[in-house]
């Protein structure tokens, strides 16, 4: 008989896909905090997005750690570390609000970095009029971004480089 280790069963994409296709009746059978993991995968399959409930999650850090692994989403890592530091996240709704706020902050930072890079390049070439147009005209700014090949992606994995691993993982 081919016995699977618990780790091999839990930490595969097949398992998370199976969770996503549980029936409503099967999903309602979970009474522990695992129900939030089940709810996450079902909502993601059905709606392509997740709206976390605003009810207290007893073991929120562990739920986020499990979602980190099963969903392969590093945003849950950051939240689990925040909780470990004592920050007050008690519901999945609060957790998702925190993720959304971080996304907004990162988007603003990326936009600022992109614009600063464009302005530096324009000023280095003495194109002061274009720098002014970039600041005031969205279409002109987009043309200049393309001309100078300035994209809107931040350095990939900047926060996770140098082999950093979540402190709560072995």
pLDDT per residue over 82-95, tens digit each?
887 877 888 888 88
At residue 13, the pLDDT reads: 54
Predicted confidence band of residue 14 (pLDDT cuts 50, 70, 90): low
Q: Which residues of 28-64 are buried (b: 16+ CB within 10 A; e: fewer)?
A: eeeeebebbbbbbbbeeeeeeebebeeeebeebbbbb
Torsion angle of the four alpha carbons 144, 146, 147, 148, in this order, in degrees rounded to the nearest 10: 90
Residue 141 has pLDDT above 90, yes or no: yes
Task: Read off the pTM.
Answer: 0.61
Separation of alpha carbons 102 and 89, rounded Å: 14
Rg of the chain over all Cα atoms, to the nearest angstrom: 22
pLDDT in tens, 28-76: 999 899 999 999 999 989 998 888 888 889 988 888 888 888 888 888 8
At residue 155, the pLDDT reads: 42
Cβ(121)–Cβ(133) under 8 Å? no
């Amino acid at each position: 008989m081919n016995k699977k280790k618990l780790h091999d069963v839990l930490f595969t994409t097949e398992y998370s896909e199976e969770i996503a296709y549980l029936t409503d009746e099967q999903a309602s059978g979970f009474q522990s905090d695992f129900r939030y993991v089940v709810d996450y995968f079902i909502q993601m399959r059905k709606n392509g997005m997740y709206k976390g409930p605003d009810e207290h999650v007893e073991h929120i850090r562990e739920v986020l750690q499990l979602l980190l692994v099963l969903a392969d989403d590093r945003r849950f890592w950051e939240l689990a570390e925040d909780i470990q530091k004592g920050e007050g996240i008690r519901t999945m709704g609060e957790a998702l609000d925190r993720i959304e706020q971080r996304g907004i902050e990162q988007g603003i930072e990326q936009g600022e970095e992109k614009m600063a890079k464009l302005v530096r390049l324009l000023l280095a070439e003495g194109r002061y009029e274009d720098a002014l147009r970039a600041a005031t005209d969205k279409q002109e700014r987009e043309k200049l971004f393309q001309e100078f090949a300035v994209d809107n992606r931040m350095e990939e994995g900047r926060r996770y480089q140098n082999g950093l691993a979540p402190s709560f993982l072995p």
